[in-house]
Amino acid sequence: MLELVDLKLSYGDTPVVTGVNLKLRQGERLAILGPSGGGKTTLLHHIYQSLPKSSTAQCVQSKALVDNLSVFHNIYMGALDRHLWLYNLLNLVWPLPKQGSAINLLCQELELDLPLHKPVTQLSGGQRQRVAIGRALYQKAPVLLADEPFSALDGEMSRRLLATLKASFSTQIVVMHDANLAREAFDRVVGIAQGRVVFDLPAAEVNESVLARLYKQENSSERLNG
């Protein structure tokens, strides 16, 4: 699907990702783990830019929802590319019943028992994350790219939502912090620290010592900076 060869990414003069080699395959569920600030979001953004938009759904961090819009509008945004501008405009001004019922159903699946007209500013962190997941599901594309979609959810709910995502996306690339969930629910895990790939392994081979090596990179960089 996509091969990254010796990828380097920077913000201005500051390198953030260095010498990354990764083969991303169709039909695979890949989790990206690693210490904070290691370059996971930057890498995911690059992957998103490199894939065809028509086949890729993006689940943004919940802070990227449009605050002054409702649950309905934030989820409907996932469908904007599927419809003509006039249809989109009508829906945004006066939601059509067909779209209302589809989004209502989706909210039930996401265990979001809320009025669809509620502004997302009035939601909890976990509810906002599920609205962001809803928007990605409403894009109806085969490939999911998600940035920490479960960080504000409890483990049991994350597992139920992972099953929903599995049924909807044949290919997944998900940045996450929960190593246990990554090992349990994904085929392959890539560890990124200080902008480099520390490991790229089948999920079953990611053991405690592999994880310790990944997070040790964070401590050593903190020591250097401190």
Ligand X SMILES: Nc1ncnc2c1ncn2[C@@H]1O[C@H](COP(=O)(O)OP(=O)(O)OP(=O)(O)O)[C@@H](O)[C@H]1O
Cα 34 from Cα 218, distance rounded (Å): 9
Contact flag: residue 221 with ligand X (CB under 6 A): no
x/- track of binding to ligand X for residues 7-26 (CB under 6 A) = ----x----x----------
Q: Is 135 in the site for ligand X (CB under 6 A)?
A: no
Asked if 128 touches ligand X (CB under 6 A), the answer is no
Residue 49 found at the interface with ligand X (CB under 6 A): no
Q: With contact defined as beta carbons under 8 Å apart, do 100 and 72 qualify?
A: yes
Whether the CA torsion 201, 9, 53, 99 is positive or negative: it is: positive
* H or E element that contains 92: helix 85-93
Of 40-48, 68-76, 98-106, 138-146, which segment contacts ligand X by CB under 6 A?
A: 40-48
Q: What is the rounded CA–CA span in Å between residue 207 and residue 171?
A: 24
| Residue 134 or 191 having the CB closest to ligand X | 191
Name the minimum Å distance from CB 103 to ligand X: 28
Instruction: Number of residues interacting with ligand X: please give it, by CB under 6 A.
Output: 10
Q: In angstroms, rounded to a whole number, what is the distance separating the alpha carbons of residues 54 and 216?
A: 39
The pairing of strands 188-193 and 196-202 is: antiparallel
Question: Which strand ranges, in their side-by-side order, compose the sheet holding 171-175?
Answer: 56-59, 143-147, 171-175, 29-33, 188-193, 196-202
Nearer to ligand X, 64 or 114 (CB): 64
* Shorter beta-carbon distance to ligand X: residue 103 or 173: 173
181 binds ligand X (CB under 6 A): no
C-alpha separations of 21 from 3, 6, 17, 76, 196 in Å: 8, 5, 11, 35, 9
Q: Which of 20, 29, 40, 77 binds ligand X (CB under 6 A)?
A: 40
Which residue in the block uniquely carries the two structure tokens 């940035």? 147
- Measured distance CA(199)–CA(206) in Å, rounded: 9
Of the candidates 13, 36, 86, 209, which one interacts with ligand X according to CB under 6 A? 36
C-beta of 12 vs 97, nearer to ligand X: 12
**By C-beta, is 16 or 143 nearer to ligand X?**
16
CB of 63 to ligand X, least distance (A): 11
Of the residues 37, 95, 126, 142, which one makes contact with ligand X according to CB under 6 A: 37
The contact set with ligand X (CB under 6 A) reads: 11, 16, 34, 36-42
